[in-house]
Amino acid sequence: QLAEILDVTVPPAAVGEMMDEVDKLAAQYHTKIPMVAHAGDGNFHPHLMLELKERGLSTEVKRKIYARAIELGGVISGEHGIGKTRLGELDMCIDPKSMDLMRGIKRLFDPNGILSPDSAIR
């Protein structure tokens, strides 16, 4: 059973390296992490299994996958956006200064905070 499907994108030349990393993590954590990929554009979807969540390890494994993607010049979400499921990892890819800038822009256009009030940019 699935706990979460990730949406990692790396440069196409780094797909093999990223997939190797996911396989190493699966072995390290004694689990399976199946993947579906759009290998030509560097986008792939590691599937974190429910047993990782039950063992309290899904966030740790997810952050390791994201960290490696970023090291390889990629991003934590290539086609599905940050959404609410990736808010906890936003700090891995956007620095505090950039977040402050985005918050300032949002306040300029949304002084009453009524547009997407539960989003990352408040």
pTM: 0.84
Kindly state whether residue 27 falls inside one of the protein's structural domains: yes
Residue 111's identity, in one-letter code, is P
What is the rounded distance in angstroms from the CA atom of residue 30 to the CA atom of residue 82?
28
The structural domain count of the chain equals 1
Q: Which of 24, 28, 21, 29 is nearest to 3 (CA)?
A: 29
Which tens digit of pLDDT belongs to each residue from 71-122?
999 999 888 777 777 777 888 888 889 989 988 999 999 999 898 887 777 7
- Does residue 97 form part of some domain? no
Read off the CATH number of the domain in which 38 is found. Answer: 3.30.70.2740
Per-residue pLDDT tens digits for 39-65: 899 999 999 999 999 999 999 999 999
3-state secondary structure of 22: helix
Phi, psi at 8, each rounded to 5°? -90, 140
> Domain of 57?
2-81
Give residue-wise pLDDT tens across range 19-30.
999 999 999 999
**Does any domain span residue 17?**
yes
